[in-house]
Amino acid sequence: MSSLDKAVTTQLNNIQTKTGKTLEELTTLINNSGLVKHSEIRAMLQSQLGLGYGDANALVHYALKSDGERAAEADGLKNDDVLDAIYTGAKANLRPIHDRLMAAIVSFGEFEVLPKKGYVSLRRKKQFAMIGPATNTRLEVGLNIKELAAAPRLVANPPGSMCNYTVRVTQVEDVDGELIDWIKQAFDSAG
């Protein structure tokens, strides 16, 4: 079992402990809610069960079998195929930014790349970053790290968000020492 599989199993076990419900009961709750959209189901779980964003999100993926990695595996896709799908059409111009980021991040050490529907999640023991297009002209890097020093391009996200910070990147030149340092700090804190 990979470290990611262990982490997901631990998270699902913790959710069962927090809620006092089995995964089967939680899946039934989701299926009987009448809700279809991932975000609506996640919000319902947060509201009704008091789960945090990450736990509610993981539970929705589990119940709907909808995480990007499972979808990619089911389709027989590799990471490059998933990236080709994410960076297609009007978003193709953002792929060099993604590639520049990944070239810097691989030098940090071992981590997992988990493709999702519209972005990739980067994980060690926990997720440390997300990379993906926000618009046709802008890529966003989400960072999971507490208390980075304020900077003009570092956007602090509200508590409970999927990432603590977001950095908007519009050109390859935006992948500079400052951004790489922030990602490295997130990488170190996740491991």
pTM for the predicted model, two decimal places: 0.62
Q: pLDDT value at position 77? A: 38
C-alpha 181/C-alpha 63 separation (Å) is: 36
Neighbours of 117 (CB within 10 A): 14
C-alpha 70/C-alpha 151 separation (Å) is: 37
The residue-averaged pLDDT of 154-176 equals 92
| Residue 7: Cβ-neighbour burial (10 angstroms; 0-12, 13-18, 19+) | middle
Residues 116-139: pLDDT tens digits? 878 999 988 889 999 999 999 999
For β-strands 139-143 and 165-169, DSSP reports them as: antiparallel
The residue-averaged pLDDT of 44-50 equals 92
120: tokens are 């990739």
Q: pLDDT value at position 66? A: 62
Q: pLDDT value at position 79? A: 56
Burial 150-184 (b: 16+ CB within 10 A, else e): eeeebeeeeeeeebbbbbebeeeebbeeebbebbb
Q: For residue 143, what are the β-bridge partners?
A: 129, 165
The residue-averaged pLDDT of 87-99 equals 93
> Which of 102-106, 115-119, 155-159 is predicted least confidently?
115-119
| Pick from 119, 6, 14, 12: nearest CA to 58 | 12
What confidence tier does 53 reach under pLDDT thresholds 50, 70, 90? Answer: confident
